[in-house]
Amino acid sequence: MTSRTISRKGATARKTASAQAKAQKVRSAKAKTGSLIGEIMARLPFTEAQLHKALMAGILGVGALIVVLAARAAGVPALAHKQFAAIAASTGFEVRRVEVRGVKRLNELKVYERALAQRDQAMPLVDVAALREELLQLSWVQDARVSRQLPDTLVIDIVERKPHAVLRLPNRLVLIDATGHQLETISPERARGKLMLSGAGAGEQVAVLAALVEAAPALKPQVREAQWVGNRRWNLTFKTGQVLALPEGNRPAADALVSFARLDGINRLIGGKVAAFDMRMPGRVYMRIPGRTDAAPVAAASSTASANAKPSPKVAEADKPDLADRSKSDR
């Protein structure tokens, strides 16, 4: 048999030109796409390296989620959690730094002592709720928030209690807040200039005392010490050393303090010669003046006070019932 060879003609010039045009269009499209992506990346608020890190974290997160779901389906969630933590730790997601915020008076080392126990732990294994409860046990901490700042930082925000007064106890002075919560023991030097509370149960009456003093705001800066007497009433000591004995009951005590403030505004009682004022008897004020027996200055105070729009308590000499003697019955 005779074999035949079939020959095909080469590509025509038109086909070659068409193929070259298509290739040029592809190259042009790729160039435009690359430049567009580059422009978009330039406008983003993070770098390509940061984007790559975020994508890697996302991929790891998806992988860890798959592991968790698979483990849960198999009935081993604890193992899945450990596997997830191991994966996170191996990629740098573990506690390496602790950042504490909001601390002014609290000893910051006490916060770090508790937080650093989480050091080098994988982030998923950090029990932020338990750490918060530990921090709330510190006397100065009113509230706390613990959060994870990936990849390696624990952030602790502290809300401190505010010091309000000093509580005088039998063997020490203690700084307390407005609720009577004890903050720390302080020295007499640090206690100087602060409101001093004394008497059994005084720490539990801080809010009551604050409301009482607010009834006469003009006297508030003058009060240096408040003594809770007999678990039922207050003796107030002013910065001048003068003592005011108030009656029992919140309302009677507030009314008496307002009356005293009115008398002081007219007669300048605070800073005068009277050592003690006794307002425990309704409608009367007993004054003790060291070394004085005549009632002339006291009567003058009474007549001046009567000129006020509201009737003031009658003022009498303190030698009738002496403040110091009567205070014995309150103990």
**What is the pTM for the complete model shown?**
0.62
Whether residue 68 contacts residue 78, with contact meaning beta carbons closer than 8 Å, is answered with no
When mean pLDDT is compared over 22-31, 89-98, 243-252, the highest value belongs to 243-252
Query: Which residues contact residue 320 at a Cβ distance below 8 angstroms, ignoring those fewer than 6 apart?
Result: 286
Query: H-helix or E-strand containing 142?
Result: strand 141-149
Contacts 24+ apart (CB under 8 A), 75-84: 81/124, 84/124
- Who wins on pLDDT, 310 or 18? 18
- Who wins on pLDDT, 307 or 156? 156
Number of C-alpha atoms within 13 angstroms, CB side, residue 84?
23
d(CA 297, CA 190): 39
CATH number of 195-330: 3.40.50
d(CA 272, CA 112): 53
d(CA 276, CA 251): 22
**Over the Cα atoms of the chain, what is R_g?**
40
**pLDDT tens across 148-196, in order?**
888 888 899 999 999 999 999 999 999 999 999 999 999 999 999 999 9
Neighbouring CB atoms inside 10 A of 151's CB total: 15
- Which is nearest to 99 in space by CA: 62, 30, 153? 153
The DSSP line for 286-328 is EEE-TT----HHHHHHHHHHTTSSSPPPEEEETTSS-HHHHHG
pLDDT at 43 over 90: no
pLDDT at 94 over 60: yes
Give 226-245 as a 3 state SS string.
Answer: EEEECCCEEEEEECCCCEEE
DSSP β-bridge partners for residue 238? 223
Q: How confident is the model at residue 121 (pLDDT cuts 50, 70, 90)?
A: confident
Name the token pair of 47: 């770098």
Average pLDDT, rounded, for the chain: 77
**pLDDT tens across 273-298, in order?**
999 999 999 888 999 988 765 443 34
Taking residues 42-71, report their average pLDDT.
63
Query: Which residues contact residue 223 at a Cβ distance below 8 angstroms, ignoring those fewer than 6 apart?
Result: 195, 213, 236, 237, 238, 239
Taking residues 323-327, report their average pLDDT.
44
pLDDT at 142 over 80: yes
Number of C-alpha atoms within 13 angstroms, CB side, residue 233?
21
pLDDT at 96 over 50: yes
Q: In this predicted structure, what is the pLDDT of residue 40? A: 57
By CB atoms closer than 10 A (0-12, 13-18, 19+), residue 203 is: buried
Question: What angle, 0 to 180 degrees and rounded to 10, lies between the N-to-C axes of helices 48-74 and 77-90?
Answer: 160
Least confident of 10-14, 245-249, 315-319: 315-319
Query: H-helix or E-strand containing 166?
Result: strand 163-168
**pLDDT tens across 216-271, in order?**
999 999 999 999 999 999 999 999 999 999 999 999 999 999 999 999 999 899 99
CA torsion sign for 9, 14, 15, 19 is positive
Name the token pair of 22: 């298509």
d(CA 184, CA 191): 11
- Which is nearest to 226 in space by CA: 168, 269, 285, 284? 168
Whether residue 257 contacts residue 216, with contact meaning beta carbons closer than 8 Å, is answered with yes
d(CA 299, CA 111): 62
Whether residue 67 contacts residue 124, with contact meaning beta carbons closer than 8 Å, is answered with no
d(CA 278, CA 324): 10
Q: In this predicted structure, what is the pLDDT of residue 46? A: 55
Question: What is the CATH architecture assignment of 97-160?
Answer: Roll (3.10)
